[in-house]
Chain A
Amino acid sequence: MSRGNRPLSPHLQVYRPQLTSVLSILFRIMGVATSVGSIVLIWWLAAAASGAEYFELVQSFLGSWFGRLLLFGWTFALVFHLCNGIRHLYWDAGKGLELETAYASGKAVIVFSVIITLGLWGLAYAVGGA
């Protein structure tokens, strides 16, 4: 079949990653990660309902270095999905779709995700101590 000089559609394996496409797939991955992490949230609530002893056990697991690592990852996934979700809602309204604006909002999503995640953990350490 002769393709002539017609352009081919982008193929994932040979296509140079762009900020827009990377944020797009990260949006999905972080959404799935947030879903998986919500199991911990429900476990935590069920522990609180079941009594002081079990709640303290779950709290000490979540307070261990591994628990904190999981919670930090979950916080970032949630906050990133939230920030990029707002960007998507703006697009759904038909706004901000120009190339320059889409790149600027993408960079803003990264900056805000990092600042909000670190801010939340700074707040948590300020309130609860180490």
Chain B
Amino acid sequence: MSLRTPLGRARGLGSAKDGSSHWWAQRLTSLALVPLVLWFVFSVALMTGADHVQFLEWVQSPVVAGLLILLISVGLLHSQQGMQVVIEDYVHGEASKVLSLFLSLSVHVVLGLTGILSILMILFRG
């Protein structure tokens, strides 16, 4: 037995008006991060002791640069999605909640831009 009205079921969105889209987007970033994180941690472990030149050479491979940009963008998106849920669960005042969400989003955007621009700088320094 369903307790939802026929109209609610047809729209499929529930009270938050975006249905299960946030939950689903979180699962998609999780799935993508499984191979990306495994690749990254093993690559970095194998890079131990590398100097600046060796590190730049590693990043300058198009495959590595591409995977790093993917890891940073998907990883920080997943981090943002997770922090949003944590804040919504534990920060109760409306003003402090909105402020925390805004701060979290801002920090993630700045970190993402810094990381991706760093990789592009390394890639195109010639």
Contacts and interface: CB of A to CB of B under 8 A. Distances in A.
Interface string B22-48: 000001001101100110011001111
A75 interface: yes
Interface string A9-42: 0000000000000000000100110110011011
Nearest to A129: B49
A99 interface: no
B34 A127 contact: no
A46 B114 contact: yes
A112 B114 CA distance: 33
Given A35-B79, A89-B27, A48 B122 contact: yes
B115 A56 contact: no
Contacts, number: 84
A7 B95 CA distance: 37
Interface size class of B (residues with CB under 8 A): 35 or more
B102 interface: no
Given A42-B118, A45-B118, A49-B118, 20 more contacts: A28-B86, A31-B82, A35-B82, A38-B76, A46-B114, A46-B118, A48-B55, A48-B56, A49-B122, A75-B41, A79-B41, A85-B30, A86-B34, A89-B31, A124-B48, A125-B48, A127-B45, A127-B46, A127-B48, A128-B48
